[in-house]
Chain A
Amino acid sequence: MNNWLEMGGYGLYVWGSMSVVLACAVIELISLRLRMKAITGKRQTNHP
């Protein structure tokens, strides 16, 4: 397992790539969810 994580000494580069890809996707999804929430939430406060 440790060997695999080290990626033959290239771990930093390989995981540095993978983690940023995943982080970007997660951030984009969360921000879109928040944006949608803002849209659906705002309406309800305008119409009590």
Chain B
Amino acid sequence: MTIAAALFVVGFYVGFILAPTDAQQGDAYRIIYVHVPAAWMSMVIYVVMAGWAGLGWAFNTRLSSMMATALAPTGAMFTFLALWTGALWGKPTWGAWWVWDARLTSELILLFLYIGFMALQASIDDARRADKAGALLALVGVINVPVIYFSVKWWNTLHQGASISLTTAPSMVTIMLLGMLIMALAFWAYAIGVTFMRVRCIILEREKNADWVKTYLERK
């Protein structure tokens, strides 16, 4: 968490103090420093979550399933943030809070997948059955992630294309890019930290009848 906070401060400094105003969008572009990292995290966390859920289902490893359960709320939060910051960016640049564009719609579906995953797991009392049902939903939903990512290529979207790609040079000024990448690292660190915090809670709650948990909690 300290690492995440430090990276956030540095990223904020680079993005809001050092980086200049954009020639076309003015200062509204600065939303990019949280919008793009949040959107990346929303997709990455979903894939990781589906991976853990699938592992837990295939090999019956309870801890893998608990990791998936721990990731879902944070993933949903980042999806919400991507949509929220996107709306606040869309209004001044496109003139609309929301449009039914392929990128926006598929990201909204991602939010519903996260919510569906959490609701489904919460509705099943037996933890292992909840894990398996959730895994099925998570794995089917993973198809949505490439749809989000490539939506700006496959369809004519109002949303702009990717700013960063592995194959071509980034279409951004170095200092802006740097600020955004530092912010992305901060979000990564935050997501990892918060997921481990939550998985600890889940382990202790689920295994509360195990001897090691009892001795562990008594010692605390």
Contacts and interface: CB of A to CB of B under 8 A. Distances in A.
Contact of B35 (A4, A11, A17, A36): A17
Interface in B68-127: 73-74, 77, 80-81, 84-85, 88-89, 91-92
Interface residues of B, number: 35
Contacts of A24: 77, 80-81
B187 to A, nearest CB: 9
A31 to B, nearest CB: 9
Residues of B contacting A: mostly: helix
Interface stretch (B146-154, B155-163, B167-175, B193-201): B193-201
- The interface size bin for chain A is 20 to 34
Contact of A39 (B1, B31, B81, B201): B201
Contacts of A47: 218
9 contacts: A7-B26, A10-B30, A13-B92, A24-B77, A29-B1, A29-B194, A40-B217, A43-B220, A44-B217
